Amino acid sequence: MMAFVHISSSLSLTIPSPTKSLTVRTLSKTVSSRFSPRTCVLPISADSRRCIAQIHSKTSNFVLSGALALGVFLGGIGLAEAKLGVNKPELLPKEFSTVIDVAGFLSDGQEKRLAQEIASVEKDTGFKLRVLAQNYPETPGLAVKDFWQVDDRTIVFVADPTFGNILNFNVGATVDLDIPRSFWSRLAGKYGNIFYWKEKGEDASIEAAVTAISTCLREPVGPNNCSEVK
């Protein structure tokens, strides 16, 4: 199972006492772009449960549509690719490689160095880092799942400048338990922003990101691991 996005929505339940009314509020700032906040003041009964279920359904729809929208931003693989049907195995290399560059961002020497670093990380930590450099929609897309045998210990790093920030990540569930989600957003903010890769080059962003991920994965798991993007 891959962790793609996390969008939180909030419900506030206020129950003054078992015999009084139940108030359900949605936080307007959280979901105002999808539906208007509403307040249900009902006796605690089947009607109140239906009211909560209705709001929960709207919230779930918002989360799903938000995930799909951000999935488009992620590029590479995932919900958006499945929806769009991008699957071009012909773009995959004939031999296995942990680095696939269909966009031509990397030199042969850079690909080799990245592959060596990725092999070292996998040997030391057990986590699998895979790098796909692309310009959407020219991407192998879903085909990389089988090619790389993507599992819960896999990080798929998609370098794609199409939507502005070049650094995009799909993270396995086991990785997600050990690495704070804030790390990925901070990494993208530092090395993936358009000003950085426009000035330094796409290759510089990719190399810097791999180095930062390698450093993070080697840190002992704890409350402060991966707190800095190096």
Domain ranges of the chain: 2-74, 88-218
Look at residue 53 in the predicted model and tell me its pLDDT. Answer: 46
In this predicted structure, the answer to whether residue 20 has a pLDDT above a threshold of 70 is: no
User: How confident is the model over 36-55, as a mean pLDDT?
Assistant: 45
The backbone torsions φ and ψ at residue 26, rounded to the nearest 5 degrees and listed phi first, read: -100, 145
Banded pLDDT at 168 (limits 50, 70, 90): very high
Q: Give me the chain's average pLDDT, please.
A: 74
- Grouping H, G, I as helix, E, B as strand and the rest as coil, residue 135 is strand
For residues 98-115, average pLDDT = 97
Give the CATH class of 88-218: alpha beta
- What pLDDT does residue 16 have? 37
Threshold 0.85, pTM exceeds: no
DSSP H stretches of helix in 133-229: 143-148, 173-178, 181-191, 194-200, 202-218
